[in-house]
Amino acid sequence: AFGGKLKCGAVICPFHRYKISFGKEIKGDYTVREYETLTESGIVFARLSDTHSNGFPQFIRQLAQTNTIYPGFTMEIKCTRPELIIENGFDYTHFRPVHGVDAEPFSPEIMDSGSLQVESHFLIKTFRPFNGKPAGSIIKTPTQINAFSPYLSVAQIHGSAAMTFITSVNPIENCGTLLRFSLGLPKSVYGEAPNPKIVKQMLIGSRRGIQDDQVIWEKISLIAPRNFTTQDKAVLAFQGFCKSFF
């Protein structure tokens, strides 16, 4: 409560002095349920159910061992369905028209841990000689995306320019969505202490990429029928994955 004070492990309501405790044990007039949380590299994750961990605690801990993770930035998006933002990452056909990068078809699979995973390649055109190849060459960059819930995904781009994108979304007031973005840089590529200038430029580029998508997220019609093609296999897999949550 606004203006509440913490006393003996409970919040004292400033208006009626009700004692509001936390967890299963009732110690006051009211009790607020506790939720499992996980803190890693300065990022706090909360699981709002007793199920659906989908292997995320093990995944993020292992990721933190191999990556330097930077809590990046937050953005408010005028989108009433946050899961559409995570779904967007499973739509490989949008990368060329929106971001100027080709991607091979995504192959979705439900992992033993419960997460939805796709594997593919981004086809990146070089603008200067790279690894012995002339300018204009196409580099196939392995890519893996995991959704752990309708509101949380991790995308890993491998290779010599490897990076990891951690994206979470939550509904907020006024029918909006709060997007949180964090960046992971593999220690095998960037070392234990990546150059701060590189980190800054990657975060700037990531924000611009999200802003390119934001225009579509905020204008998409939620009442128009959605027509899918054979290219939408991963999108449909994500929608099926979400049904167990809603």
Least reliable range by pLDDT among 129-133, 147-151, 174-178 = 129-133
Which of the two residues, 21 and 215, has the higher pLDDT score?
215
Report d(CA 146, CA 110) in Å as an integer. Answer: 9
Residue from 44, 245, 232, 50 nearest 150 by CA = 245
Report d(CA 145, CA 162) in Å as an integer. Answer: 13
pLDDT tens-digit map of 42-95: 999 999 888 889 999 999 999 999 999 999 999 999 999 999 999 999 999 999
Contact by Cβ (8 Å): 178, 169: yes
At 41, the pLDDT band (50, 70, 90 cuts) reads very high
Note the Cα 142 to chain centre separation in Å. 18
The DSSP line for 89-154 is TT-GGGIIIIIS-EEPPPEEEE-TTS-EEEEEEEEEE-SS-BTTBPTT-EEEEEEEEEEEETTEEE
Mean pLDDT of the region 109-126: 93
